[in-house]
Amino acid sequence: MSEGPTTFKIYVPDPVSQQIGFIGVLQEAGKPVQLGLRLKVQEGRITEIEHLIARNLGERNLGNLVTPRMPLLTTVPEARRSSREQLLKIGASYYDALDDNNGKAAPFADDCVRHENGMQTSTNQQPSGQGGMAALGVLGCSAQIDTGTFAYIDTIDHRRVEIADAETGLVFGLSHFHHSMTQKFVTIKGVPGVEKVDLNINAFDLPAAHIFKVVGGKIHEIEALGFTAPYNSKTGWDQQKN
C-alpha cells in the first residue's frame, strides 16, 4: 500500500457482532485499487482480519470511485429503518435472487443502482420498449436479474451476511461465485431483440464483497467489488469460524 483510503470510504459498523465491514479505494504502488475488508473486534482488540483487493480497475470507471454515492453515507430516518435482523435477511436475499435468476427473491427498489469495481452495471430504469443489448443495459436491478443474464453463475458459496448497521441501513456481505462456463451463452427473456448473449469466457471464480443500502425495507444501492480467480480456488473461508 502506497497511500491509504482518502475520499472513497464506506464503513458498516455492527456493535452486535462486533464486526466492521468496509469498502474503500487506496493506492498500491501508486495505482488505485479497491479494498473490501472485514474486522472482528473483541475487548477492544482486533482478533480477525480478512480482505479482498480488486486491481486493474477500468480507467473509465475511476470517476465512480472518487467519492461514494451520497445515499451510502447518509443515515436512514427512524421511521424508514429496518432492524438489524431484517437487514441481514435482506442482504442475504440478494444472493438468492442471483442464484435463482429471480429478481423478486430480493426486495429491490425501483431506483436500485449497482456498481461493481466502479462500473455501473444496472440503472434505475425499467423496460421501455428499447430493443437490443442497449435494453439489457438500462434495466433496473430486479428486471435485469429476471432476464436470465446471470444464469452463467453456477453457485454462490461461503455466503456470509453478518454485518449490518440499522442507523445507516447498510449491510456488508462476503461470498464466492463459481462459473464453470461449460455453456458459452445465456438465454435472455423479456428483452426485445435479444434472445441470447454469447459468453466466450473460460471458467473462473469471483470472491466478492458487497455493501447494500436498505431504506424502507428495500435495496436502493449496491456497491460491490470482486476479482477473477482460478476456477474452484481455495479461499480459506470454508474454514472460517462463525
Residue extents of the structural domains in the chain: 9-239
- Topology (CATH) of 9-239: Nuclear Transport Factor 2; Chain: A, (3.10.450)
Q: Which of 225, 166, 206, 204 is nearest to 38 (CA)?
A: 225
Question: Residue 6 phi/psi, 5° resolution?
Answer: -115, -75
Q: Is 127's pLDDT higher than 60?
A: no
DSSP letter at 64 equals G
Average pLDDT on 173-178 reads 97
Q: How confident is the model at residue 192 (pLDDT cuts 50, 70, 90)?
A: confident
Query: For residue 236, what pLDDT is reported?
Result: 75
Q: Is 27's pLDDT higher than 60?
A: yes
**3-state class of 116 per DSSP?**
strand
Question: Which pTM was predicted?
Answer: 0.93
Give 4's contacts (C-beta < 8 A, 6+ positions apart).
26, 27
- Residue 181: which region, alpha, beta or left (left: phi > 0; alpha: psi -120 to 50)? left
Q: How confident is the model at residue 196 (pLDDT cuts 50, 70, 90)?
A: confident
Q: How confident is the model at residue 122 (pLDDT cuts 50, 70, 90)?
A: confident
Q: Is 96's pLDDT higher than 60?
A: yes
Q: How confident is the model at residue 242 (pLDDT cuts 50, 70, 90)?
A: very low
Residues 143-154 pLDDT 10s: 999 999 999 999
Average pLDDT on 104-120 reads 95
Compute, in degrees rounded to 10, the torsion defined by CA atoms 27, 31, 33, 38: -30
Q: What is the mean pLDDT of the chain?
A: 92
Query: For residue 47, what pLDDT is reported?
Result: 97
**Cβ distance 164 to 84 under 8 Å?**
yes
Residues 66-81 pLDDT 10s: 999 999 999 999 999 9
Question: Between 191 and 230, where is the model more confident?
Answer: 230
